[in-house]
Amino acid sequence: MLDLVKTPVATDDVLKVEGLKAYYQMNYFGVRREVRAVDDVTLTIKRNEIYGIAGESSSGKSSLIKTIAGAITPPLRVVEGSVKFDFGGETLDVYGEPQRMKGARWQNLSYIMQGSMNVLNPVRKVKHAFHDFAFRHMGLSEREFRAKVEQHLKRIGLDPRVLESFPHQLSGGMRQRLTIALATVCEPDFIIADEPTTALDVLVQQDVLALIKDIQQRMGASIIFVTHDMTVHAAISDRIGIVYAGRLVEEGPTLDVFQRPQHPYTAHLIASLPRLGDKTRRSALPGKPPNLADPPSGCRFHPRCPLAIDKCKSGNPPLENRLSGRVACWRAGEVVAA
């Protein structure tokens, strides 16, 4: 069997997620509910890499990325596992060292959250946000800082005058760019972005994608990037991970995953992409996405999987190396990409 995975050099890994489980645990008037939104995820991200996470709505993409960013609030809690960054040779345990984590924010690590239209304080001018988030990391005088921010905005295609506006005076696209500017102004080593382009129209979306790619190349940062839009992944991600029902089911270099999906769910995602000149209607996946409060036994995909066998109902397939990536399926590789 071909094994194309390069043995990772220790210092080349910026992020290591191991056996991560994060659940929404709710208890209200005696009714307990546990939503297993992140269930045993292990992944590594290298320096200078854009790692894309794909999956249908409610599969737990945001929950995963929030947990990685250390951005969880109750009822979401980490139940097991660890998230560790490596910034300049120093390991930072996100859930082990809250104080150091606080120091690393924006300096080393920034986060663009889903629906980030509303991350700017509605009653203060935009410039204050830059000052509050970035000033103390830059070691510049007020004047130099302002100049630096203006220069950064220009590069991103924003008029520096937006600094003097209130958020409600700006369009959605401008606000989205601003949050990207805010997340990149300190030139962090690692950027976590949750659907930064979903709310935008296609043209702006192209711009923003090019922008992210440009920033990443210029600054040499790593990016972990969530979107359910596979075409966006094709355009920007170096590697992608497919999430289904809180689990990572497949992962590999983008091109390989698109050309030779190993997991039936991935195959479905790719097959359902519209193609030029193709007029046949794509088949929809039968069945509903699983309820994460009460997920199916065994492989969580089995109720909807065209290849399911008896074993799938009882045994949870482990995520194993295969070809250039990893896949969790008892019948991995048996799919033929449409």
Partner 1 sequence: MDGFAKYLVRRLFQFFLVIFLGVSLAFVITKLSPVDPVEQSVSLMTNFGATDPRAVELMREALQELYGLKGSMIEQYLGFWGRVLQGDFGPSLSSFPTPVMSLIVSALPWTVGLLTLALIITWTLGNLLGALAGYYRNNTLLKLSGAAIMALHPVPAYIIGLVLLLAFGFIWPVLPISGGAQMNLQPAFSFDYIRSLILHGTLPALTLVLVGIGSWFISMRSLVSNIVTDDHVVYAELGGVSSSKIFSQYVARNALLPQLTGLALSLGNVFGGAVITEFLFNYPGVGRLLIQGIYRGDYSLVLGVTTMSIVAVAVAVFIIDLIYPLIDPRVRHG
Partner 2 sequence: MFKILRDLLRYNREFAIGFVLTLGIFLFALAHFWAPMPDSAIYLLPPDMPPSAQYWFGTTSRGQDVLWQMSSAIWNTMLFGITVTILSRLLAVAVGMISGYLGGKWDEALMTLNDTMIALPNIPILLLVYFVMRDSMSWPVLAATAALLGWNYDARLIRSVTLSLRTREFTRHAVFAGMSVPQILIRQHLPYVMPVIFFTAMNNLIWAIGLEVTLSVLGFSDINRPTIGGMIYWANQHQAIIAGIWWWIAFPIVAIVLLFLGLFLLAISVNEYIDPRSRLSRMGV
Ligand X SMILES: Nc1ncnc2c1ncn2[C@@H]1O[C@H](COP(=O)(O)OP(=O)(O)OP(=O)(O)O)[C@@H](O)[C@H]1O
Binding site for ligand SF4 (CB under 6 A): 263-264, 299, 301-302, 305, 307-308, 312, 317, 329-331
Count of positions on this chain that bind partner 1 (CB under 8 A): 26
Residue 69 in the binding site for partner 1 (CB under 8 A):
yes
Residue 111 in the binding site for ligand X (CB under 6 A):
no
Number of CB atoms found within 10 A of residue 180's CB? 23
d(CA 30, CA 18): 33
By CB under 5 A, name the one of 42, 48, 58, 114 that touches Mg ion: 114
3-state secondary structure of 186: coil
By CB under 6 A, name the one of 63, 108, 179, 262 that touches ligand X: 63
d(CA 162, CA 154): 11
| Between 108 and 266, CB nearer to partner 1 | 108
- 84 contact partners, CB below 8 Å, separation of at least 6: 15, 16, 17, 18, 91, 92, 93, 94
- Residue-wise DSSP of 156-177: HT--GGGGGS-GGGS-HHHHHH
Q: Say if residues 257 and 266 touch (Cβ distance below 8 Å).
A: yes
| Between 39 and 189, CB nearer to ligand X | 39
3-state secondary structure of 235: helix
By CB under 8 A, name the one of 9, 10, 57, 74 that touches partner 2: 74
Residue 29 in the binding site for partner 2 (CB under 8 A):
yes
Instruction: Give the nearest distance from C-beta 75 to partner 2 in angstroms.
Output: 5
CA angle in degrees (0–180, nearest 5) for 96-239-276 = 145
Q: Which does 27 bind (CB under 5 to 8 A by kind): partner 2, partner 1, ligand X, none?
A: partner 2
d(CA 10, CA 8): 6
Q: Which does 119 bind (CB under 5 to 8 A by kind): ligand SF4, ligand X, partner 1, none?
A: partner 1
x-marked contacts with ligand X along 182-221 as a string, rule CB under 6 A: ----------------------------------------
Residue 210 in the binding site for partner 2 (CB under 8 A):
no
Count of positions on this chain that bind ligand X (CB under 6 A): 15
- Residue-wise DSSP of 240-306: EEEEETTEEEEEEEHHHHHHS--SHHHHHHHHTS--TT--SPPPPPPS-PPPTTSPPSSSTTGGG-T
Stretch that binds partner 1, among 49-57, 66-74, 208-216, 249-257 (CB under 8 A): 66-74
Residue 293 in the binding site for partner 2 (CB under 8 A):
no
By CB under 8 A, name the one of 75, 289, 296, 333 that touches partner 2: 75
By CB under 8 A, name the one of 9, 28, 57, 123 that touches partner 2: 28
Residue 24 in the binding site for ligand X (CB under 6 A):
yes
| Between 16 and 304, CB nearer to ligand SF4 | 304
Residue 47 in the binding site for ligand X (CB under 6 A):
no
Sheet holding 31-46, edge to edge: 31-46, 13-28, 76-87, 90-93
Burial of 58 (0-12, 13-18, 19+ CB in 10 A): middle
Number of CB atoms found within 10 A of residue 231's CB? 11
Of 201, 293, 211, the C-alpha closest to 246 is 293
Residues of this chain that bind ligand X (CB under 6 A): 24, 35, 37, 55, 57-63, 75, 114, 228, 292
Residues of this chain that bind partner 2 (CB under 8 A): 26-30, 73-75
Residues of this chain that bind partner 1 (CB under 8 A): 69-71, 73, 102-103, 105-106, 110-111, 113, 115-116, 118-124, 128, 132-133, 166, 168-169
